[in-house]
Chain A
Amino acid sequence: MTTRRFFLRNSALAMVGAGTAPLWLQRVLYAADAPSPRKKILVAIFQRGAADGLNIVVPHAEKRYYEMRPTIAVPRPSQMPDRREDAAIDLDGFFGLHPALAPLKPIWDDGHLAIVHAAGSPDPTRSHFDAQDFMESATPGLKATADGWMNRALPHAEPAATVSPVRAVAMGPVLPRAMRGANPAVAVQNLSDFQVRNAEASGAFQALYADSQDPLLHAAGRETFEAVSLLQSVRKRPYEPAADANYPRGHLGDCLRQIAQLIKADVGVEMAFADVGGWDHHVNEVGARASEGQLAMRLADFGQALAAFWLDLGDLRHAAAVVTMSEFGRTARENGDRGTDHGHANCMFAMGGGVRGGKVYGEWPGLEPEQLYEARDLALTTDFRDVLGELVRGQLGIRDLSRVFPGYAPKPCGILRGSPGNGSHAEARAST
């Protein structure tokens, strides 16, 4: 898997010493080596707190949905002809997007956004903590798994020195569970601050680590200063997103803007991770109308951030895929506080150049009492590892998925072009 670029980079850096290469050389080595084949990229977004999938991708043709959510349901697309901003945006006659997700509709229409509904972790836990843990380790029910699925999904590279020091990047202060493990992965809290803040000390540190007799510290120091120096030119150049890419202010927008910045800088990123909290709406989930309230605000941020990222990538879209997940869904019925409690299955989004979009995937389990999980939650019909597995194979080229998802054999859903599929909700519904 050695690309010419990284071979060049390492041999050149070996000559001049890591991090001391002049800027022009770094630019030649890192960015301007156009003929090298660009790797595909997988971006994972975790919505922490259990997002309410039934109000995000709304089953507006289900009568039961409206019966169970008398005050917080998102109205049918046809219901409010004069106030369309307060009704679901129809996708296929059965499902509709929450109106705050309007920025995603063009991507759906272009066939680059797919949805998998009734997806998630088969583990019955309704604990945020356990469920997030299981989703990030991708071993539901097994708490002692030490590493995360993203780390295990990093393609093996021999020799290890030939890969980019920033091939796996998580936005945040520490590596998320999903990216922890034996393979190197970098946590970046803020790209503009990924450095030793004191220039004089930085040089001294670099020399000390280069001279260290301890092989691990020597290597870690090299890896660090390589990443710092690799990102230095990226960091120093003010970043201008594409003209029409309006990232929302806030954490997710910041994360995705920086991920786009890294991807466009062509520094060898193969996977990236960002998370966004605030989805645990037990009380007053929806405001006076569907376009108002806590969920609408979170979704406006979410939809705008994803759409901006998509526009920002420009012609690099073909290489990138984004997948979203949340630890579990919420109760099918609203509770007494105009909110929802912890549930089971949820919806996942997949967006990318290779995604076969414009389609809601997965078997729809229905919302009749006997169809609900434990008589209260949307039942699960697609294991989240089926979705992740297909993307890991398609984007990262991993053939043997048993290493990434131990004890489980992912079944592709068909969300990527060129992979076999199980079909869409439309087929399942045709029989009802």
Chain B
Amino acid sequence: MHAGTAQQKLDLFSSFPPDRQDQLLENMGQGMRMELFAAAPPGLRRRIQCANGPQAMVAQDLTEAKLFRAVYSNRQLDEVLVDFWYNHFNVYLEKGADHYLVTAYERDAIRPHVLGKFEDLLRATAQSPAMLFYLDNWESAGSQSPAGQRRQRGLNENYGRELLELHTLGVDGGYTQKDVTEVARCFTGWTIRQPQRVAEFEFNPRMHDDGDKTVLGVRIPAGGGIGDGFQVLHLLAQHPSTAHFISRKLAMRFVADDPPETLVKRMAATFLKKDGDLRAVLKTMFDSPEFWSRRAYRSKIKSPLEMVASSLRVLNAQVDFTFGLNNQLTQLGEPLYRKAEPTGYSNSGQEWLNSAGLLARMNFSVALVNNKLPGVKVDSAHSAEGVTLGSPDFQKK
């Protein structure tokens, strides 16, 4: 099977009986499998990917679903919001168990809540194995707790810090290092039951620091158990700094890199009045004169995902499978589910402007219209449109 085109290899491969095929797939190297992949029908493609590794298959399906939804879904606001909130509560797929935990994370913790109450979203992320693993809270134990004493484990502040700084109040939201430590104490014992098998949220009282705590000036009396964490989440979800921080970030995504403060204030007021109702906050934004203003019109640079999705849609491209597109997104600087830092990708369009990124956009555009991307078909009548897709105008939204 060494020489010949992918199609010839496929024909040779298909001439074997099915049980021999699986054996062949197992035994050939990944390089040769991917050569077959290029010409394989959908059913065989899945078998090839499974042979490459079941874990990688989970990640592959996840990114494929995201791209398909981005291009073809009729519920575009939903998809944009899922992207926004996943990114806000970012989890890095390549960190250990998160390789297979993020699928349920996005489906169960993020997606159901994007037009719901912020506090529900916050609680869902706080209790998700993916987040508990990503920010190490599952290992955090009170130093005086039975588990802390026995296993010489201690307090891990990662989640506590990011919860305040990135998920709710924002870095200037008016908290101290002492608050970070106290919040981390409240979340001790929020862990994962059997991370390698069941991977469910569990509160383990033997890891919990059951002493007195004070968070943002509010006393949390001793003995609260799992309730400590819920109390903190409630406190944070209702905090004016959170209302402002979240409103500004949404306005950055939908209106301008540096959104008008008047708009942010009105959105934050809605957030507080309506108990963190995200649908109401969005409505305030969509109904605002700032949203419809001339200044906001096409004022932002598309993210790589937006650039790729809009290119495929404007050409009415037929996407058969997405690993080629996913590679392109890596070249463009936005590998899906693979932002290592808890900050997520920037919502500022300017962040995407660099030489390598622009060149990658131009090269993507030309490759796309010339049908050079595996898994994507474009009508040859569009072959001159590459320059349009890579042009400055098309980079804006």
Contacts and interface: CB of A to CB of B under 8 A. Distances in A.
Interface in B1-60: none
A298 interface: no
Contacts of A144: 161-162, 165-166, 171, 342-343
Contact of B386 (A185, A198, A224): A198
A5 B365 CA distance: 35
Given A143-B158, A216-B350, A224 B359 contact: yes
A144 B387 CA distance: 38
B162 A143 contact: yes
A376 to B, nearest CB: 11
Given A127-B136, A212-B392, A218-B392, A196 B366 contact: yes
B103 interface: no
B391 A208 contact: yes
A129 B339 CA distance: 11
Contacts of A175: 333, 354, 356
Contacts of B367: 197
Nearest to B156: A125
A118 B363 CA distance: 45
A146 B330 CA distance: 20
**Chain A interface residue bracket vs B:** 35 or more
Contacts of A184: 354-355
A385 to B, nearest CB: 19
Interface string A182-209: 0011111100001111100110110011
A173 B329 CA distance: 10
Given A186-B355, A214-B396, A201 B387 contact: yes
Contacts, number: 105
Contacts of B356: 173-175, 186-189
B29 to A, nearest CB: 18
A187 B332 CA distance: 11
Contact of B392 (A133, A186, A194, A208): A208
A329 to B, nearest CB: 20
A205 B387 contact: yes
A220 B340 contact: no
Interface in A313-366: none
B390 interface: yes
Contacts of B355: 165, 184, 186-187, 220, 223-224, 227-228
Interface string A156-187: 00000000010000000111010000001111
A227 B359 CA distance: 11
Interface of B is mostly: helix
Given A133-B341, A144-B166, A208-B392, A224 B358 contact: yes
B199 interface: no
B310 interface: no
A194 B95 CA distance: 31
B366 A197 contact: yes
Given A212-B392, A214-B396, A201 B341 contact: no
A216 B162 contact: no
Nearest to B135: A143
**Chain B interface residue bracket vs A:** 35 or more
B301 interface: yes
B92 interface: yes
Highest count of chain A CB atoms <10 Å: which of B165, B366, B390, B392:
B392
B358 A221 contact: yes
Contacts of B340: 129, 132-133, 177
A411 B162 CA distance: 30
Interface in A32-76: none
A66 to B, nearest CB: 28
A177 B341 contact: yes
A143 B342 CA distance: 7
A216 B363 CA distance: 20
Contacts of A174: 330, 333, 356
Contacts of A177: 340-341
Closest 8 CB pairs of A and B: A187-B356, A212-B392, A217-B392, A220-B353, A224-B355, A204-B387, A224-B358, A208-B391
12 contacts: A129-B92, A129-B94, A143-B162, A144-B343, A173-B330, A201-B362, A201-B390, A205-B390, A209-B391, A212-B392, A216-B350, A221-B358
Interface of A: 127, 129-130, 132-133, 143-144, 146, 165, 173-175, 177, 184-189, 194-198, 201-202, 204-205, 208-209, 212, 214, 216-218, 220-221, 223-224, 227-228
Given A133-B340, A195-B359, A224-B355, 10 more contacts: A144-B165, A175-B354, A177-B340, A194-B359, A201-B366, A209-B392, A217-B301, A217-B396, A220-B358, A228-B359
